[in-house]
Amino acid sequence: MIASNPSMLSEKASSLLKLVAIFIVASSLIGCIGKPYEENASRNDVITIGDSIFDLNEVIEETLESYAGETFRNYTQSGAELQGGVFARPVVGQYSDARSTDSNISTIVMNGGGNDLLLPAYLFDPYKCRTRWYRRNLSKACANLIDDLYVTAVNLLNDMAHDGVDNVIWLGYYELPGLNSNLTKALNYGDDFLSYACEVSSNANCQFVDPRGTIPASQVNRDAIHPTPEGSVNLANQIWPVLEPLL
């Protein structure tokens, strides 16, 4: 009979607990995954794509539709990264899916890029995007990650312009409270680059909605990431003045 090695069993148990913890953290971060697309709308030429800021409680979309008196196609997915990822269809893929269903797209309301930073930072922070008392500025690895996201964003916007999309409204990210406040510099750097991507992309009329400084901690869920229903209405109210003239 082979005796069990207590240290080996302890290591396996520790690894299992870590995997369970990672799954729990990731689930709380991205919320529900796999909500079906909404592909039949009164305005099929208007679509929304993005991540759980839009998708988790769906209040942004519902508020905009109530203001417009019309419905839009919705392809947002909780957990979506801008490109790639394992939890949900990425934003680039959402756009591709929308075109496959109906390529007549005039206006896109979207967000994206947040999970590309938040998911790694929440689990192991391999890019060191969280600032610390001993590291007050972004690491080079985090800056490089955001630079790559900028390139992806510009390429996506250029593809949209080439496909005949007239207007893009890109919602940026607000400051996160509590334990995630040390991601502020990374999100600020990312917002600045997303705003610049809107400026430099070709023909599509891209407008960046910058919510920084407008979403108080009371309008962010206890997960210190997602907006409450009140926060979502706040965000919709910032999008609406940009969207209304385009409808």
pLDDT of residue 212: 98
- The answer to whether residue 1 is domain-embedded is no
- The answer to whether residue 218 is domain-embedded is yes
- The answer to whether residue 14 is domain-embedded is yes
Residues 6+ apart with CB under 8 A from 64: 72, 109, 236, 239, 240, 243
Average pLDDT of the chain to the nearest whole number: 89
Name the nearest CA neighbour of 46 among 66, 75, 67: 75
Half-sphere exposure in the Cβ direction for 105 (13 Å, CA) = 31
pLDDT of residue 234: 98
**Position 87 confidence tier, pLDDT thresholds 50, 70, 90:** confident
- The answer to whether residue 70 is domain-embedded is yes
- The answer to whether residue 47 is domain-embedded is yes
- Cα–Cα distance, 157 to 151 (Å, whole number): 10
Instruction: Please indicate whether residue 15 or residue 244 has the higher confidence score (pLDDT).
Output: 244
Residue 75: domain span: 6-246
Q: How many CB atoms lie within 10 A of CB 189?
A: 20
Residues 6+ apart with CB under 8 A from 212: 172, 173, 174, 175, 188, 191
- Cα–Cα distance, 199 to 216 (Å, whole number): 28
- The answer to whether residue 66 is domain-embedded is yes
pLDDT tens digits along 127-176: 999 999 999 999 999 999 999 999 999 999 999 999 999 999 999 999 99
pLDDT tens digits along 89-141: 999 999 999 999 999 999 999 999 999 999 999 889 999 999 999 999 999 99
pLDDT of residue 9: 44
**Which domain CATH number covers 242?**
3.40.50.1110
pLDDT of residue 15: 42
- The answer to whether residue 96 is domain-embedded is yes
SS (H, E, C) the chain: CCCCCHHHHHHHHHHHHHHHHHHHHHHHHHCCCCCCCECCCCEEEEEEECCHHHHCCCHHHHHHHHHHCCCEEECCCCCCCCCCCCCCCCHHHHHHHHHHHCCCCCEEEECCCHHHHHHHHHHCCCCCCCCECCECCCCHHHHHHHHHHHHHHHHHHHHHHHCCCCEEEEECCCCCCHHHHHHHHHHHHHHHHHHHHHHHCCCCEEEEECCCCCCCHHHECCCCCCECHHHHHHHHHHHHHHHHHHC
Q: Which residues pair with 220 in a beta bridge?
A: 227
- Cα–Cα distance, 152 to 194 (Å, whole number): 10
Q: How many CB atoms lie within 10 A of CB 179?
A: 11
Are 58 and 48 in contact by the 8 Å Cβ rule? The answer is no
pLDDT of residue 24: 47
- The answer to whether residue 182 is domain-embedded is yes
- Maximum Cα–Cα distance across the chain: 78
Q: How many domains does the chain have?
A: 1
